[in-house]
Amino acid sequence: MKNAIKKILVTEEEIKQRCQEMGRQITEDYKNYEVKPLLVGLLKGSVPFLAELMKYIELDVKYDFMCVSSYEGTESVNDVKIIMDLNSSIKDMPILLIEDIVDTGQTVKTVKELLYNKGASEVKVVSLLDKPERRVVDVEANYIGFTVPNEFVIGFGLDYNQSFRNLPFVGVLKEEFYEENN
């Protein structure tokens, strides 16, 4: 699998260190909140990031998942369809929405609106990666792990055709691999 990688952008060690810093920052920012934030991970890409980050949040936080897709599903919200919804009410709760990458920004913008419609008191976005060059809607993450260039990235939750999510680092796929499969 590793021979399909053109270059590594962010190493396993850098991800761990950055998660420690972000966890400390979130702990500081939310320590005085009476209701602690619910971490909402967007499936499937956020799973490794959520698992690493939450180890360093020293607050009594709970987590839940949502699965949304632009292409398939049952309920449509703008262009984003909900495949799997949250398990419990989020009325009057602060939410930390955990994403793998903010690319065009459409997913985060729509899911934020959806969470506010469900009664969340506040929604902040935590993203492992930010690709600002691709943004088409006006939305920014509140906490960003790393800014990446306008290249297709894989690993640490990010996939190409559902593969490569289990790589422990973030990298760029070799073009020939990409072309072969298209």
Among 48, 103, 114, 130, which residue interacts with ligand IMP (rule: CB under 6 A)? 103
Say which DSSP state 137 is in. Answer: S
CB of 34 to ligand IMP, least distance (A): 31
Instruction: Quote the least distance from Cβ 157 to ligand IMP, whole Å.
Output: 8
Q: Does 142 bind ligand IMP (CB under 6 A)?
A: no
Question: Please, are residues 156 and 167 in contact by the beta-carbon 8 Å criterion?
Answer: yes
Which of 22, 57, 102, 167: binder of ligand IMP (CB under 6 A)?
A: 102
Angle CA(115)–CA(57)–CA(149) in degrees, nearest 5? 70
Within 144-173, the residues that bind ligand IMP by CB under 6 A are: 152-154, 158-159
Three-state DSSP class for residue 69: strand
Backbone angles phi, psi at 132, to 5 degrees: -65, -25
Nearer to ligand IMP by C-beta: 95 or 158? Answer: 158
Please tell me the distance from the alpha carbon of residue 125 to that of residue 148, in angstroms, as a whole number.
Answer: 17
Radius of gyration of the chain from its Cα atoms, rounded to whole angstroms: 16
CB atoms within 10 A of CB 8: 15
User: Which of residues 59 and 83 has its CB atom nearest to ligand IMP in the complex?
Assistant: 83
Q: Which amino acids are annotated catalytic?
A: 103
Q: Please tell me the count of residues contacting ligand IMP according to CB under 6 A.
A: 16
Binding site for ligand IMP (CB under 6 A): 45, 99-108, 152-154, 158-159
